[in-house]
Amino acid sequence: MSELIRVDQTPIVEAGRECRAFMVVRGETLRLPYVLEYHRSLGITRFFVVDNDSSDGSLEYLLQQPDCHVFSAPGSYAAARCGIDWLNHLVARYGNRHWCLNIDADECLVYPDCERVSLPRLCDYLDQTGADGLFSVMLDMYSDKPILDTVYQPGERFLDACPYFDRDYHFRRRTGLRPFPPQEFIGGPRLRCFYPEFTEAGMVGWNLFRLVRSARTKIGVTSSTWGVMPPMLVKIPLIRGGAGKWLTSHRTTRLRLADIRGALLHFKYFSDFHERVITARAEGQHSDDGSEYTRYHAALRRNARLSFCYEGSVLYSGSGDLVRRGFISSCESYKAFAADRVMA
């Protein structure tokens, strides 16, 4: 891919299977130190990172990391389908035979017993059971303060700043002919605070909104809060290289999913959120014509001191609690596998 220019000099050694992470970043110096360290602790060996024209020192920071292979992409993020074309190109080139993790700089992967079972061990289990991908939900994490006051310092644990999540989520089967992935994950603070009309809509209501969105696209309505669907809260972030590819940030080609389910803890809501919303709207690089960010902006204009905390907020206590709540899932064969495994 001509617009990707490799800018690091670190040799890429192919000496056996690894767990490799693939990322696209733009202006992420605040989050990069911890997101890299967290996934190193899980067992990621190498990071293949596309820097999309950062001006905050992200590129320079990445070039100092001995396990990061860095590619510059000065082109349009939107034209690359929100960076998916760049990621698929790198996975095809550097991910074959490896397990490949697609994460954003504000996401941390968790899965059953991740506190004691390393990511390479998890991938051993996926190999043994013939799985090609790990279906995961997205949990928006937040603090007990207004977003504007949720100050985070680089290198700190994300959970120290944003340790809460919503208790009110549920799964729903997607409609259509053999949809993949087959389930939606519904709920969370974005639904409550930015898309309140969807909270009681039900299946029929959501399908009606989808028709409105389709009509909106056909008549060319852009940069509006009208007809905008809430973001998808499911991803397949971990796939076996060569088994499939990402179609969007949230969907892959059809592949065999694991018999367990993980989650991505999503740390979008630090005090820089307001500024990032303004920047995203101005640059127009996100999907759906930036309408998601237009909706965020409208809500923040109504209440600049917006806080997600409510009576249903839950303090994160580990993967076991997410299993008990049914957000992530284990199974008997995985429990037996994990029983004598410890973090490598």
3-state secondary structure of 283: helix
Strand extents, DSSP E, the chain:
5-6, 19-25, 46-51, 68-72, 99-102, 107-110, 133-140, 164-166, 169-173, 183-187, 234-240, 262-266, 313-315
Question: What is the SS3 string spanning 199-246?
Answer: CCCHHHHHHHHHHHHHHHHHHCCCCCCCCCCCCCCEEEEEEECCCCCE
pLDDT of residue 1: 62
C-alpha gyration radius of the chain: 20
- What's the CA gap between 275 and 296, in Å, rounded? 11
- What's the CA gap between 174 and 207, in Å, rounded? 10
Q: Both tokens of residue 203? A: 């299946």
Name the maximum alpha-carbon separation found in the chain: 58
Contacts of 280 (CB under 8 A, 6+ apart): 286, 290, 293
Q: What angle do CA 100, 161, 123 make, to 5 degrees?
A: 20
Question: How many other β-carbons are positioned within 10 Å of the β-carbon of residue 167?
Answer: 13
- What's the CA gap between 263 and 193, in Å, rounded? 22
Give me the tens of pLDDT residue by residue for the chain, a chain 344 residues long.
668 999 999 999 887 889 999 999 999 999 999 999 999 999 999 999 999 999 999 999 999 999 999 999 998 998 999 999 999 999 999 999 899 999 999 999 999 999 999 999 999 999 999 999 999 999 999 999 999 999 999 999 999 999 999 999 999 998 888 899 999 999 999 999 999 988 876 655 555 555 665 555 555 555 455 557 788 999 999 999 999 999 999 999 999 999 999 999 999 999 999 999 999 888 876 555 457 898 899 999 999 999 999 999 999 999 999 999 999 999 999 999 988 755 54
pLDDT of residue 273: 97
3-state secondary structure of 341: coil
pLDDT of residue 243: 95
pLDDT of residue 342: 53
